[in-house]
Amino acid sequence: MSDLNKNYFEKITYRDALRLAMHDAMQEDKNIIIMGEDVANYGGAYGATKDLLKLFGKERVIDTPISEPAIVGAAVGAAMSGLRPVAELMYVDFFGMSMDQIANQLAKIRYMFGGQISAPMVLRTQGGTGRSGGAQHSQSLESWIMHTPGLFLSMPAKPNDAYHLLRHALKIDNPTIFIEHKLLYNTTGTLDKNDIGAPFGKANILRKGKDVSIISYSRMINYAEKAAEILEKENISAEVIDLRTLYPLDRETIITSVNKTKRALVLSESYYTSSVPSEITSIIFENCYKVLKKPVIRYTAEDTPVPVAPNLEKNYIPTIEKIVEYTKKVCN
Amino acid sequence: MSNTLLPKLYKTMKRIRTFEERVSELFIKGESAGTMLHLSIGEELGPACVGTAMQENDTFTTHHRGHGIFVARGGDPNRMLAEIAGKKDGYCKGKGGSMHIADMTLGHLGANAIVGGGIPTVVGAAMSYKYLKQERVSVAFFGDGAMQQGILYESMNMASLWKLPVVFCCINNQYGMGTKIENAVGVKDFSKRAESFGLNTLHINDLDVESAYHKSKEIIDSARKFKPGFIEIECYRFYGHARMDKSPYRDESEESEKRKLDPISFASNQMIKNNILDEADIKKIDNDIMIEMDKAMEFAINSPINDETEIFKDVYSENDPLPVSLDEKINKILNN
């Protein structure tokens, strides 16, 4: 990174926004450490921690053994003892290895010990399809976290949000799970460090609309924006809402938008059943049922494991064409 | 030279046992929160020797059978019993209960109800101490059941790799709930496992608490110099797994035979034999402890219960809004 001291970037990658967030936070707070598989020498499997070893040394940027439960567990212990770790799980699928430490330990420490202590740490990981990673390297498991009280959950889509949400996560006193998307790292956007940035629990209305609300987060936001452009040409005005954080969840923005548009499509790469979209759909139904003109559509990945073959993988998740098609039907 | 160490260790063991007896009584009186009460009667030697060998600023995590360890580390019996009773004055406001007692100010980083769940916590704590240049050791206490959990070996490897001030302490009471160790373990020599990670090891398999203290202290002192260690203390769980368990899976003859291996009577006999204390002195100690623990039980019973709003507190930081109650959510929908 050559522009460490710049405050405004016309064009920065999602990856560099994250690196910059960790860099700036580590400069401010010497108790922030980074730990995870290949985060130091290698710079992170997706390059999000590249060069941080050189800048901060091996006491603060720590390569760990391939021991996902203990990576999370040790980060919890460090967070309870004065440090503020950023632990990285290379793939969100490795929640399967670490879920005891995430859900039974990290999420419950403040509560079960009666508020005596918290574990202020960030667990960074990435998920999603797009690289033919197969059933164990491509999932979207955010509902596991959303289903676990005690954790903050952030899934930014844009570099500016990625930067500011990570910076916030490293200042607040709650454990935060930060799920990135493997196909977002190379996407670009602006970054304004002077911006107050996205606070937790505040959705972003990326595009105002009056006919239908498309509610989404993470990579699917970019699909929603493209679909909205196409729909506009067909005289359908879609409001695109980027949730940015799933806990806290900005219920008010969702409800206000659907009360206005009276139609909604919830878009996500997660599963259809018992998922984040299921939850958002319930919220819409419970709060907007009087005005709804059509049933709320949950457009998600299929309820199957993730296939590898590129043609299958592409159709396993939502496509822009189908988002357009379903939205038109909802508006019909 | 007068021996003050053995009476001190005796007193700790006796306090643990009397405390656990009061836990049992609390249950009988119908004053305990639930029945998941795991007593450490018969296992007092380990908490007493390792707990005493640790220094004031050292920290620890415990397992579900951890009351004794916390008593040995200075836990206040009043607040402990209040926690077990689910009361407001409990260490965790009655929200943790018997299996999650903790007091961060006394270095107790949490009791854990997941077998092996609290072990990596001490690895992270030790990473902090090393990074922050604090001379502290963190000790994970767990049972023989956790010796069969993968997280232990991940943690041992990290402790060894990063030369952390950590001690892994296994209190081997021979049973994982109702399963005897012979039915759960291929090779019983636990020290060998720890040795293969390059840890200092210590195996205690007798009733001499004083010698166990000295040996444990060596392991802890060496951990303070960044040479992590492993201690196994063999003992016998005198009673069932939890308060309701009558141990139908083992013979009464085994129980009566093994209960003779009592570290407390052993220490008491040693003190008398070596003219450290006489019977009257010991009786006085026992009596004082009884009074202390009776008062603690009374404190727990008389402690107030929580307001129901307590459910929603301590999920997120104090700067965040409390989670909205279901009643509020449902009424909002119905009133719309």
Q: Does B164 touch chain A (CB under 8 A)?
A: no
Amino acid making up residue B210: E
Give me the domain span that covers residue B94: 5-334
Q: A168-180: per-residue pLDDT in tens? A: 999 999 999 999 9
Least confident among A79-88, B234-243, B283-292? B234-243
Q: Please answer yes or no on whether A74 and B120 come within 8 Å at the CB atom.
A: yes
> Is the separation of the CB atoms in B95 and A112 below 8 Å?
yes
* Predicted pLDDT of residue A1: 61
> What is the arithmetic mean of pLDDT over A276-282?
98
Q: Please answer yes or no on whether A83 and B117 come within 8 Å at the CB atom.
A: no
Q: How confident is the model at residue A199 (pLDDT cuts 50, 70, 90)?
A: confident
Q: B145-195: per-residue pLDDT in tens? A: 999 999 999 999 999 999 999 999 999 999 999 999 999 999 999 999 999
From the list B104, B118, B150, the residue facing A116 with the nearest CB is: B104
Q: Please answer yes or no on whether B124 and A73 come within 8 Å at the CB atom.
A: yes
Q: A119-135: per-residue pLDDT in tens? A: 999 999 999 999 999 99
Structure tokens at A158: 């844009």
Compute the C-alpha angle B164/A19/B120, nearest 5°.
25
Distances A57 to A52, A53, A78, B160, B322 between C-alpha atoms, Å: 8, 5, 18, 20, 39
Report the C-alpha gap between B257 and A136 in whole angstroms: 52
Query: How buried is B335 (Cβ within 10 angstroms: 0-12 exposed, 13-18 middle, 19+ buried)?
Result: exposed
Nearest CA in chain A to B58: A81
Helix (H) or strand (E) holding A287: helix A276-288
From the list A59, A69, A77, the residue facing B122 with the nearest CB is: A77
> Is the separation of the CB atoms in B298 and B44 below 8 Å?
no
Q: Is the pLDDT of residue A59 over 90?
A: yes
* Predicted pLDDT of residue A89: 98
Mean pLDDT (chain B, rounded): 96
State the DSSP code for A49: T
State the DSSP code for A8: E
Give the closest residue to B292 by CA, choosing from B73, B33, B16.
Answer: B16
Q: Is the pLDDT of residue B243 over 90?
A: no
Q: Please answer yes or no on whether A174 and B320 come within 8 Å at the CB atom.
A: yes
Query: How buried is A268 (Cβ within 10 angstroms: 0-12 exposed, 13-18 middle, 19+ buried)?
Result: buried
Residue to substitute from A86, A116, A250, A252, interface B, most B β-carbons within 10 A: A116
Q: What CATH number has the domain bearing residue B235?
A: 3.40.50.970
> What is the arithmetic mean of pLDDT over B98-123?
97
Q: Which residues of A are catalytic?
A: 137
> What is the arithmetic mean of pLDDT over B109-123?
97
> What is the arithmetic mean of pLDDT over B119-131?
98
Question: Which residues of A fall below an 8 Å CB-CB distance to B?
Answer: 31, 33, 59, 64-65, 67, 69-70, 72-83, 85, 100-101, 104-105, 109-118, 149-150, 152, 172-174, 248, 286-287, 290
> Is the separation of the CB atoms in B26 and B32 below 8 Å?
yes
* Predicted pLDDT of residue B1: 46
All residues of chain B having their beta carbon less than 8 Å from the beta carbon of residue A109 are 110
Q: Please answer yes or no on whether A65 and B154 come within 8 Å at the CB atom.
A: yes
> Is the separation of the CB atoms in A179 and A127 below 8 Å?
yes
- Cβ-Cβ pairs closer than 8 A, A with B, add up to 152
- B167: phi then psi, degrees, rounded to nearest 5: -125, 130
Min CA distance, B103 vs chain A (Å)? 8
Q: How confident is the model at residue A2 (pLDDT cuts 50, 70, 90)?
A: low
The count of structural domains within chain B is 1
Beta bridge partner(s), residue A191: A9
pLDDT greater at residue B244 or residue B21:
B21
- Strands of B42-121 (E only): list them: 59-62, 108-111
Report the C-alpha gap between A173 and A183 in whole angstroms: 30
> What is the arithmetic mean of pLDDT over B305-319?
95
Q: Does B253 touch chain A (CB under 8 A)?
A: no
Q: Please answer yes or no on whether B128 and A82 come within 8 Å at the CB atom.
A: yes
> What is the arithmetic mean of pLDDT over A269-297?
97
Q: Does B152 touch chain A (CB under 8 A)?
A: no
* Domains in chain A, CATH or no CATH each: 8-192 (3.40.50.970), 204-331 (3.40.50.920)
Q: Is the pLDDT of residue A65 over 90?
A: yes
Q: B28-70: per-residue pLDDT in tens? A: 999 999 999 999 999 999 999 999 999 999 999 999 999 999 9
Per residue, what are the HEC states of B168-179? EEEEECCEECCE
Q: Is the pLDDT of residue A217 over 60?
A: yes
* Predicted pLDDT of residue B2: 65
**B 103-122: CB under 8 A from A:** 103-104, 109-110, 112, 114, 117-122
All residues of chain B having their beta carbon less than 8 Å from the beta carbon of residue A67 are 154, 157-158
